[in-house]
A and B are shown apart, each in its own frame.
Chain A
Amino acid sequence: MSLEYYLILSALLFTIGVIGVLIRRNAIIIFMCIELMLNAANLAFVAISRSLGEATGQVFVFFVMTVAAAEVAIGLAIIVSVFKHRQTVNVDEVNSLKG
């Protein structure tokens, strides 16, 4: 399989993530869509790493995964505390900075 098929698949997955962020209003699902986009980027990294024949792309995937894990932990903690205050995770209802 040549590189471009992997890049096209990666672009499609990223787009699905973007559409998800645009059309869904549940904060948890928006988070999952962000994970989807990070994964699409990982796929592109690994595909290009393979076609260049060196491991640097995979090292970057490692860093992306670390950042994703930290982001999910913080984000879910924020969602839980927002839910405790407002009894909702709908991002349209949580639209003021002041609780």
Chain B
Amino acid sequence: MNAEQILFILFGAVSLIGAISVISFRHPIYSALSLIVTFFAQAGLFVLLGAHFVAAVQVIVYAGAIMVLFLFVIMLLNLETLSVQGAIGRKLKGLAIILGILFAAEGIYIAVNALNDTAVASAESGAAAVTTTTYDIGELLFSKYLLPFEVTSLILLAALIGVIVLVKREGQEES
């Protein structure tokens, strides 16, 4: 067992445990904190995969910005004073978990079988050792994917305007 396998098992286990904690804790704050743990473990997996840029963005954007937003809203709404934000009934929960296990089996089946006969498998044997750097990502982003890149800025602008319209108090025009 080499170092990469040990690290994969470590990060994979941490991210799975974190994910399970997200859906099993009663209190939303604990869920949010477990989600941060999951994001950090996934950043570790991205580093293992050689995607350093994605790992850095994962920590800065997800674990930093998005989770702060979540925690801010949870604390703003002060949900602990509310009655049980309960889960659904036991019977439905069992059904959901059975469906989930079926879904996972399907996903794993596809993940294992898709590699047997597609281009991914042939490429894997050929060009496995090539690592991609931030330079490559930047080059692709500003040449081949320039239009989608500009469209994302429109998405962010739309989100910004949407949020301002949503939270603006009605009847409060100009003061």
A residues neighboring B (CB under 8 Å): 1-20, 22-26, 28-29, 31-33, 35-36, 39, 42-43, 46-56, 58-59, 61-63, 65-74, 76-81, 83, 88-90
Contact = CB atoms under 8 A, between A and B. Distances in A.
Given A16-B16, A53-B128, A39 B42 contact: yes
Q: Per DSSP, are chain A's interface residues mostly helix, strand or loop, or mixed?
A: helix
B15 A9 contact: yes
B12 A9 contact: yes
B108 A8 contact: yes
Interface residues on B, range: 35 or more
Contacts of A51: 120, 123-124, 128
A66 B70 contact: no
Contacts of B152: 63, 66-67
Given A29-B85, A36-B22, 19 more contacts: A1-B48, A6-B49, A29-B22, A29-B23, A32-B32, A35-B62, A39-B62, A46-B51, A50-B131, A51-B128, A52-B123, A53-B126, A58-B137, A61-B51, A62-B137, A70-B155, A70-B158, A73-B159, A89-B77
